[in-house]
Amino acid sequence: MMNFCNRCAGPLCYEIPEGDNRKRNVCQECGDIHYQNPKVIVGCIPVWQGKILLCRRNIEPKFGLWTLPAGFLEVGETMAEGALRETYEESLAEVELKELFGLYDIPHIGQVYSIYLARMTSEKFGITPESSEVRLFSPEDIPWDDIAFDVIKSALQEYIERS
Ligand code: ZN
């Protein structure tokens, strides 16, 4: 929740602007309306010889649990560029993106996940500041009880069912 206007530093009030139908952060000084919209998260399912690359989170939330490489899309990059960047930042893996595997809405936290299918171009990967461990898992070895997010669990389950 924002408290001050990022245009004039005036105080914000959470109210329904005229002509709108939901509450927004409205600056009481300059009248600017600060819309908050869902964020896009981009990532991929990196596959190497039938195994899936997972990262153990070295950051909160869900510290210590496993996830697919994914993160917030930055302004100025395409979803594919963001997925490649996040994959490298979290796993040092270089991948070739295939099709968009799935889109997942998480409306209650304002997130949209877009997960690509990806082929690792080599067996090279490694730990990073964001991942304390990076490993290839056979489908039967996926640590289902230690997957960080439901959306990632769903994507992995769908991938395994489809392949
Ligand atoms: Zn303002």
Task: Kindly tell me if the per-residue pLDDT of 1 is higher than 80.
Answer: no
Ligand 1 centroid from CA 33, angstroms = 8
- Give the CA-trace dihedral at 156, 108, 84, 115, to 10 degrees: 40
Ligand 1 centroid from CA 119, angstroms = 47
pTM of the model: 0.89
Average pLDDT over residues 107-129: 97
Ligand 1 centroid from CA 69, angstroms = 37
Q: In whole numbers, what is the pLDDT of the chain averaged over residues?
A: 97
User: How far is the C-alpha of 31 from the C-alpha of 147, rounded, in Å?
Assistant: 44
Ligand 1 centroid from CA 35, angstroms = 13
What does residue 66 show for φ and ψ, rounded to 5 degrees? -95, 145
Q: Determine the pLDDT at residue 160.
A: 97
pLDDT level of residue 2 (50, 70, 90 thresholds): confident
- List, in sequence order, every residue forming a beta bridge with 41; answer none if it has no partner: 72, 113
Ligand 1 centroid from CA 15, angstroms = 14
pLDDT in tens, 88-110: 999 999 999 999 999 999 999 99
Of the candidates 61, 155, 59, 159, the one whose C-alpha atom is nearest the C-alpha of residue 113 is 155
